[in-house]
Structure formats: structure tokens, C-alpha cells
Structure 1
């Protein structure tokens, strides 16, 4: 078991969480940690929030672990408890509104004296009505019976008022403790826009906006694994260029460009303070600095304001567990394991959005089959919903759904918009191969190149000669060399070929300029390979004479 120490408390790199049963990066339940300038002991938070007194807290460290995901949920529960206490206080205060403090004290004393007198005058078994003799009540004077009933009602009202005042007193004491705990983070002069009864999402959004406006962090949005400027949607594949570009925008406009209901993405490669020259490379230090030296307002005990990344070219690392990922979309999907609040009750998978959880849960109940998606208008069958949607939008409805960020044009698919941004707006999207000098304009093309040429992922094998191919279409073309089939015929001259690619090359000879001309004779060709074959076949002797 590897333990790493930090100023925030010890961290177990791989341990079994007692709360969710998963092996993750964990902390100790009964050790004090620092978060947002606040001290927290998770065992005490369980006791305060749920009344749970956890066992085995004095044993081995492996028996008292809690992961980051469960810590987040525990903090949310603690914050919810605070919210309930605050609302309860407002409700009780509303019930006694209009009475000054002196009248409240006087009423409390009168109720106390009255309740004590009534309780002293009542017999010990007055509440046990099973032992009461009905015949005595019949014989008793009716006036006395009414007097006793009235006294009993007054006693019940007195006890109810006394209990309410005691509850109010306890509630004030709890709220006073909570306010004292928060006093070191929130300055006493709280602005009107920062209200304690705001939702947790709104509070988290306020903290994020304060961070972006007063530091050099880089907010961004993504499409698959491309990075976009959050202000103008300019696309970058190099995080350094994204950060350099983002500095040209006014950070005070960030609040107007994003919504607090969405997952916010922040690159914290550079933090530092915008208001003074102090260099800062840790978020917790920045929060302390911005509230202590610049009197900025932050909500305490707010968790998961945004997803944190340190973007760089090549391998990307998770800041929570250190796992490495090649593509950003894989890292973001992994981050749901740490911070996703929507959890599958079958397999434990985490998600950021409820919709994705619902789609995932269907996979547990629906058997895997080769689903097909027919078009209702023409009957054409597609292998995916996306293919059918693209077909319907382009052929039947003629309704494009992918708008360009820089002009008014709307495209029919993501790929068409991708090409549009390159060809029309000149966006530079280059993805060089690390193993050779090839450069591609899409991440997919680079991935296919690596799998085919460097990783040699050749899953399609010929059952005749055992030759392997990357694509099934390549295997199909190869089989023609064994069967002798020549199914691809030229419509101009009738010449047939075993492969479509060979036919396409041949067709160019009919309608294309023959720019590859032989320097010895008048022959010309559309393909350079054909010219080389011509020289070797017709002029080899001439080339040998020249060499001699």
C-alpha cells in the first residue's frame, strides 16, 4: 500500500473504500484534512450529518479508508444539513415575527412557571387514562370536569410552547457554531448577490467566476478531443496556443458565456493572481490569498465547482489518481469515476448527466443484437441512429443541424462542419505522427494510420494464403486475386479489373490530362507508376547505354 503525504493530509494511492467498496485513491476517515482553508474529519462529518458512529477507526489504515467520490457526496450531505438548519431558523423566526425580545423572554418565563404549577398539581398517573374510573366522572360535578379539561389543555399548550422555544434556542446555538466555522473564509460584509440560501450550483458557479476573473486559469470547452475557446469557440489542438489565445479575451465576460448548470472545464496549468504579481500554483493557496488580501467573496465548503485539468500535448494525466490517457475525451469520461453523481445501481458506473446514465442502464436490460435502423420515408436501413439521422436530415427533411461558429452556414454533419472550418475559415488542424513524418488533418486519420502501419492491427486474414489486412474491404479486394474475378468494368473501353481502386485509376486515363510524359518517346500517362513501368519495359536498353 503506497501512501503519499501532502499538506492536505495522507493519501492512500490504492485502497478499498469503506463506503462504496471500490479500489480507488483514498483518504483516512479519522485524520484531519484541509480543504478550502477548512479543517474536516470525515468520521465526524458522518456523525454530524447522519448520526453514524463508524467502527474500527483505531485499527489498520486499510480498515478506515474513504475515496474522493464518497468524500464529495459526504460534503454535499453536510452542506445540505447546513441549508436545512438555516431554513428551519427562518421558519421559526417567521412564527414569532412581531414580538420583541423582551416579550419573548416574558412569555417564556410565564409559560415555564405555569407549566411547573400545572405539572405539580397533576397526579403522577394523570396521563394514564386506562386507570381512570368512568363512574367517578359521571358522579363528579360537571363544572369540575370542565375545569380539569381546561387545565389539561392549558398544560398541553404550555408544554408545546416550551418545546418550541427550547428547539429555537438549540437551533440558534447550532447556527452560531456554523457561522463561526465559516467566518474565516467569508468576509463579514457579504454583498447582496451572495446569499446563503442560494442553490449549491449557483454558489459553485459564483466561486468559479471569481477564480476565472482574478487568476490566469484557462476555461475551455471541447468537442470530442478538440479544445475550443470558451469565449469565441476558436478551435485549437495545441493547449499552449489555446492558453495564449484565451488571454486576449476579457475574463469578466466569462459569466455571460457559460451556464452554471453545465460541467465547467478549467485548465489550471497556470493559476497566479491577476490582481497582484504574486505567483500561485495551487488552488487552495489562491482561494486563501484572494479572500485574505483582496477581500473577494467565496462560498466555503462548495465541492466540484468545475473539472480540473492540466492540458498538454501527448499523454494527459488525471489530477486525482494519476492515470494517463491519450485522448481528452477518454480522460473526461474517466473523471466521472471521481466526480460523477449519477451512478448505475447494477455495475457502479459513474456519469455526469442523468441522460447518459439512462442510456447506459438500458444496456443491462436489452440483449445485445445487431440493431438496424430503417428510414420510415424510403425504407433504407442503417447500422446506427446517427447514420439514419444524417440521411433523413440531408435527403428528406433537408434540415441541417450543425451551425458554423464563425458564419451563418449550417452543415448536415459534424464531419462536414469540420471540413468547412478548415477549407473556408482556414483553421489549422494538424496531427503529426510520432513514429514517422506523416501529418494528418484529423485525429481519426492519425489513429487509423497508427493502427494500420505501426501497431499492425491486422484482424482480417485470408483463409487461402493467410495474408492479413486492416480493413475487411481490403480482404475482399484481395480475394479477387484467388478467384480470378474481374467484376469492375470500365464504361468507356470495356476493360475489367479485379478491384475498384484499379478501375478508378484507369478511368482517369479517359478524362484526365496525361501529365507524366516520357522523355524518350511520345508516350504519356496519368499516373507516375505507369510511366516508370513504361520506361523499364520499353527503354531499359537505352538507359543502360547511357549509363555505359
Structure 2
């Protein structure tokens, strides 16, 4: 099911309705992984959760309706973030004060300490007392010196000797403890500095730390710098995608035609937006169908030629690395891999294929490969995921999430339009109705013909499902009691009733029950006298498919029924 982005501004998108990942309420929400502006500052709520609580939420790269946070939780998160910053600042002041105090104590100890020298015929302890008194008198302004001098004058020579022996025994221990305390405080101070550092300071420190040796961070930084330079100075087209749709990298407008996407992207200035939106994001996907230079009329077809041109003609700095981003040449028909020229009918298939070329992050548990480390982390969590079940209170159907249950109830039982047009305010009960609206009202060209048969669909996803079900025969769900396989798990569940004898689908108009939902739906039509099944030979009509089959067997033997009835 889709959600509606009802506001698109510099402050960030708003999704309505959506499931809040923090309180599980369904209301108007913001995206956890998007950047928003509040009181002149940028904030990303998933990063704030990580900074405040160390929480790394999963599946933030999926459908936006499952990666959101409501306004109430945003306010609480801001309060927690502000309190965290207050504690860190207070800790910094405290550590600075302790460091200064220890420094002053060290100076006082070194100033008061006096070496004992032998005296001919004179009591060394008494002579030491006199020298201590003299040295202390020069520091009358220090309270600690006054206290030491007062205590020393009141003590007898025997007490002074005993105190000095204890002090000498304790000196080495105190010195060791002082060193340990100072070392521990220096460690805390460095940790605090890391926690308080800004993104600008962090980037600066990374660049400084990477100078002695080349690291992965250094290569990432070079790739980032090259990407920014190329996008700023050429007509390449960065984009996002989800399923069968392309999205503008800057304003998230939706397109199915790559030509329209490229024309729209030209209305944005990449120097104003690209760098800020790329910061901390995934590896960008960039269409290189057009690579021409923005700084001069030069026509360029190859990315390496563009790099040489920018370096030699315009003096731009580009690091000697390749594969800074994922390169595509988008087209309406088959899309070709820019690395090996393999052809794919759908973009999602090409994107998965790109893992063969650039996938470097591998799951140790199952061997799955990913382009980014964040995707691998999310995948690893799925191994420990417990399948949740949210049954519908009306029909008993189990849904995978609370939001899915909400959409099921809204569309199936309450008949509420939940699929919104992204070009106007209209809403629909299904994607098919929305696509029909886009074709008739907005003039969209949505025809996706199957290359293996004469079927034509108005959604690329529907065409993909048609291919998997009818041509590729991708039946992953097999019955444990027989050899039958099914495309959908729901069909397998209905099939199991034939082995157990369960008849869980009961007619609300009579007492008949059926093992399959489809059989019940066909039966219900008999109560409405809707005759959907027509005989091609004699034009007789029937309410159920089974009745038509019996009619053909008894009246038209040898006639093969149209496969569309099966």
C-alpha cells in the first residue's frame, strides 16, 4: 500500500498516514532517515536516536510508511538530545576544573617539598622545620600554605619525624595514584572531545588522521569529493528509485519515464542542493545517459573523458580513483549494465545485478552480498527477526504489521480510499484505479506489455508478478504433504485445508463453508445472481466457474475451456 507525502518543503516530507516506530501510533509522521530543519538547525531523527540511546533501528531503507516518527516522539527526542548535550557540556566543565585543580595541587606539592641536608651538630629535623617555615612564609596568600605552617608549629619534633616517615612511605603510592588518575582523566577528556565534535570537526580530524596512511575512510572521502565535482560540473542525473518508479534526487517528485526525470532534474541547481543531501547518505545512483560539461559547450559521452576534460581544461581537482558511484543508463525499454552490457527488462533486476560488480559486504550467516555496510547490518538483524502476527478482528486474516492491518481494514472492510494520486488530491481504493486516473486525467503513458505473451499491464510491478507466476514459474511455497507448489503463501495455506479437512471460510448468507477463500467468493455470487461465467458455445451464463465446467462436460464434450477461466 502507498502513503501520501502531503508536504514537500525545505523542512522535509510529511507522511500521512504512517506508523510511528517509537510509539506505534498511526498518524501524520516524519521520515526517520530524512533530514529536517528546526530552528535553523538540521536534524536526522535516526541519528539522534543513535546518539542519545545507542539505538540502531532496522529497515529504515524500506517503504517510507514503515520508517517514520510522529510529532509527539520528535518533541521527546529533541528534549532527550538537549539533555544529553547539557550533560556533556557539564561534564566538560567538570573535567576542566578537575584538571586545573590537579595541576595546582601538583605545583603546591613541588613548591613545598624540601630536600633534607645534613648539618654538623645541629638537629636536622629542627633545621628542616625552620626551612619549611621560611618557605611557607613567602606564600602567605595561599590558604593551604597557612594551614601547613600552623599545623607544623603546633607539632613536637617527634611528631614531625613520625609524619615525615609516613609521608615518605606514602609518597610513592600517591605518585602512582596521581599518574593513574591523570591518565584516566585524559582518557575521559579525549572521549568527551569525540562525543562533542561537530560534523565539520569530525571530517577535518578524519582527513588529518588519514594523511599518514591510506585507509578506507580516505578512499570514501575521495569518492565523495569526486562525485560532488562531477555532479556540479556536468549534466549527469542523480536519482532515487523504489520498485518501478524513479524519484528526483532533490525534491522526490515521482517519474516512470527516465526522459521526464532527466528534464525535471535540469530545473534544480546541483551546487545548491546535491552536496548537503548526499552527506552521510547511501552510495548515490546516477544516470550517465548525458554527461556533457556544464562549464562549456563540450559534448562528452564517456565518464573518463569528462574527468580528463574537467581536470585539464577547467582545472578541477579529481582524485585518481574509479567507481565513485553506481552508474546507470536509464531507458524506457531494456536497461543495460554499464559494466558488462548485460540487459535487464526492469531496473530492480539491474540493481540487484550491480551487487555482482560492487558488492563487498557479505553476511557470514547466509552469504548474502550487499553494496553498503548499513544494508548488511539491517540484513543481519533479519536473521533474528521474530515473525509478528496482527490478525484482523473482522475476518481473522493475519497481517505482518499493525500498519498493514490498518490498511487492510480501511480498504477491504471500510472501503476507504488509501492510494493517493501524487499529482492531485484524488484518492483511490487500489493502485489500478490510481493508474487509470493518471492515464485518463494526467495523460501518463502507462503500458507495460509482456514480451512473452500478449498481456499488457498498467503497472510494472504487476507485469513482474505476471512473469514470475506464469512464465518463470517461481513457486517457492511447497506443500509438505504433497508435491504441489504455489506462488503465494496464502494459496499454500488454503491448499493445506484439503489435507486437514478444515473449512474455515463460511458464507454469511447460508451455512455452507469452504476450504478456500476463492471458492467462498464464487459461492457468494450465487446469492447476488451475478453470472460472470459465459459459455462461448451456447452463450449460457453461470454464477460459478465450476458450474460452467460441468456444463461444458455435459453439453459440449471435447470443447476446451478458455484458460482465462482457470
Q: With structure 2 as the length reference, what TM-score do the two structures score? A: 0.43
Q: What is the TM-score of this pair, normalised by structure 1?
A: 0.44
